[in-house]
Amino acid sequence: MSEDAEEDDWFESDSGDDESDELDWHDWETDDSDGEESTEPSDKPEEASDADGGSLTAGFDDVSDAEFATDAGDESLEQDAEPATPEPTGSDDSAEPDDDSGGLGSSEFFGGEFGAPEMPSDEEMDDPFAEDDGDDTEESLEATGGTEFDEEFESEIPRIDIGVTGLDQMIQGGVPARSLMVVMGSAGTGKTTFGLQFANRGLEKGEKAVYITLEETRDAVIAAASEKGWGFEQYAADDDLAIVDFDPIEMANSLSSIRNDLPRLIDDFGAERLVLDSVSLLEMMYDDQAKRRTEVFDFTKSLKKAGVTTMLTSEGSEDNPYVSRHGIIEYLTDAVFVLQYVRSEFQETRLAVEIQKIRNANHSRETKPYEITDDGISVYQQANIF
């Protein structure tokens, strides 16, 4: 914290305006450094039976028995007739009826109301997967191969991406803008990296961001980002990023003032993304459970009032990774991301992420493995953890 901020009322503005007690970002800085269609007729004719003396044209109103029989004889229907030996011919032109009229595949057999079934060509037989104008198979395969969601996404709510490779693909359309999100996990699961990566994604897109830390100094935040190749120092110099390091005790004691001024400061700075690392340290400042719930609820309410997309980090419970340490923040937020260890006596320890909830957004509910690399967190969407 700067020396000017170490006065009795450290939230008092240095602007020199005696009529305003509004604080500035610098007052907060504590460190200056379809199925196939059948070709068969829909009304199937009754089978002809000579033994029962039935009509050969039963079921066909427009065809008589006389018309049904042919001069050439129908080997497939007249069982007592001897097979006729075809006479050799030297020409393709024949006195015989075209297309073996009267055969089972002829149009005369099916009557005037039914067309002969269309047989596949030689080329189609050679290539059963040949493209067909009315076949959507190829399109559907492409739709299912690239994403978990086949339908086109439409929404009137503005969406943003988190910036974590693989995880964004698990959310259809992106997270609704101005959402209040929390990433929970035990020590070493990458919660801080998650928050830094979320802020960096916004900065890369030309958005302004605010990063509030209760665990590290301003210099430590810049150094951690630089290790990943993220230029937080330059963003801060260009006034695109405000890094504020709070002492948890001082923040708890002054939370009412911070809560009241935070929406205005965010609006004045023009921030679109905010990160608070971590809300657990703030919760620990209150021994009384009722007091803790009230203060955290009021603080998250002020963040929503500010209209900024916020990412909070929180420690997970020692007994249940799907619950925060104090069991409060997951009920006050719009989205919950769970980072956890998956251990087995037969396999090495792996990291896994699961989206517990996102309001107003469809998302995958699978548990996916991820790694923390030199480039940040990468989620392997196509892989399975088990």
pLDDT in tens, 288-326: 999 999 999 999 999 999 999 999 999 999 888 899 999
CATH of the domain at 311: 3.40.50.300
Within a domain: 308: yes
pLDDT tier for residue 6 given thresholds of 50, 70 and 90: very low
The total number of structural domains in the chain stands at 1
pLDDT of residue 216: 93
Within a domain: 38: no
pLDDT of residue 336: 97
User: Mean pLDDT throughout 138-152?
Assistant: 43
Within a domain: 127: no
Residues near 193 by Cβ (< 8 Å), separated by ≥ 6? 224, 228, 372, 376, 377
User: Mean pLDDT throughout 329-356?
Assistant: 90
Within a domain: 100: no
Least confident of 119-133, 134-148, 177-191, 192-206: 134-148
User: Mean pLDDT throughout 229-235?
Assistant: 97
Report which of residues 316 and 382 the model is more confident about.
316
Report which of residues 135 and 224 the model is more confident about.
224
Within a domain: 223: yes
pLDDT of residue 121: 57
Quick one: CA dihedral 243, 246, 248, 252, positive or negative?
negative
Within a domain: 181: yes
pLDDT of residue 27: 60
Percent of the chain with pLDDT strictly greater than 90: 46
Within a domain: 222: yes
pLDDT of residue 252: 85
**CA 40 from chain center: how many Å?**
43
pLDDT of residue 119: 55
Within a domain: 13: no
**Residue ranges making up the domain that contains 205:** 163-379
- Give the tens place of pLDDT for each residue, 87-130: 554 444 444 444 444 444 444 433 444 444 455 555 554 544 44
Least confident of 46-60, 225-239, 348-362: 46-60
Q: Are 312 and 283 in contact (CB under 8 A)?
A: no
pLDDT of residue 45: 46
